[in-house]
Structure 1
Amino acid sequence: MTGHPLTQTEMGDGVTVSADSVEDARRIFEALSAGGTVLMPFEPQPWSQGFGLTKDRFGVTWVIDSPAAE
């Protein structure tokens, strides 16, 4: 990782995280999902190399996104 690894934007009761790489995004998603509930598995999407939605063990909803596919 170089520089600041992610951008965080608060959205109501949830948080969106845009990581610099699909690897960072997957690592963040897996860490936040531990003990929580996966709402949408982390998978490639037409707009992203990896995207997922999870609720952590404290009930906070997280949207995790990685850069667009090249």
Structure 2
Amino acid sequence: MSGSNQKVTPFLLFQGQQAEEAMNLYTSLFMDSEIKNILYQEDGSVLHATFSIKGQNIMCIDSAIKHEFTFTPAISLFVECDSIDEIQHLFQSLSESGDVLMPLGELPGMEKFGWVQDSFGVSWQLSLPSID
């Protein structure tokens, strides 16, 4: 991560060669996002990759080991959206084939808030701050 002042970076551990598919989905949904680099194993799985969403770097891999654990909503990615259209689009797209953990609605201090778990198991808290 040379050239970045970021000190703490989310790291997503996927199983079953899902990392590249997840990165492609995320970078297609979020504006100001890109896949920065991917290193592959001989079998085509992701050895290490970095992508960014709204300027936040996120690293990921495909685990070479089958683990008994997966993602949990206890840890989630919190996204501050810029518009009602953006939050509605992200909520719909990320919950497709996933789960709605908290329906899109109003919360104190927020015009809209929703919490979803995507088809890969990654949890997303989506927020549209109140304009006051």
| TM tier, smaller | 0.7 to 0.9
1:25 aligned onto 2:81: no
- Superposed CA offset, 1:20-57 (max 9, x none): 11221111111100000000001111211110111000
Identity of aligned residues (%): 31
Q: TM-score, normalized by length of structure 2?
A: 0.43
Q: Decide whether the 8 Å contact of 1:39 with 1:53 is kept in 2.
A: yes
Q: Post-superposition shift, 1:65?
A: 0.3
Aligned to 1:49: 111
Letter in structure 2 aligned against 1:35: S
Of structures 1 and 2, the one scoring higher in RCO (CA 8 A, sep 6+) is: 1
Runs of 4+ off more than 2 Å: 6-10
The yes-or-no answer on 1:65 pairing with 2:130 is no
Aligned to 1:35: 97
Structure that is richer in strand per residue = 1
SS at match of 1:66: strand
Gaps of 5+ in 2: 1-31, 33-52, 59-73
Q: Which structure: larger Rg?
A: 2
Gap change, CA 1:28 and 1:46, over 3 Å in 2: same
Per-residue deviation, 1:8: 6.9
TM-score, normalised with respect to structure 1? 0.76
Partner residue, 2:3: none
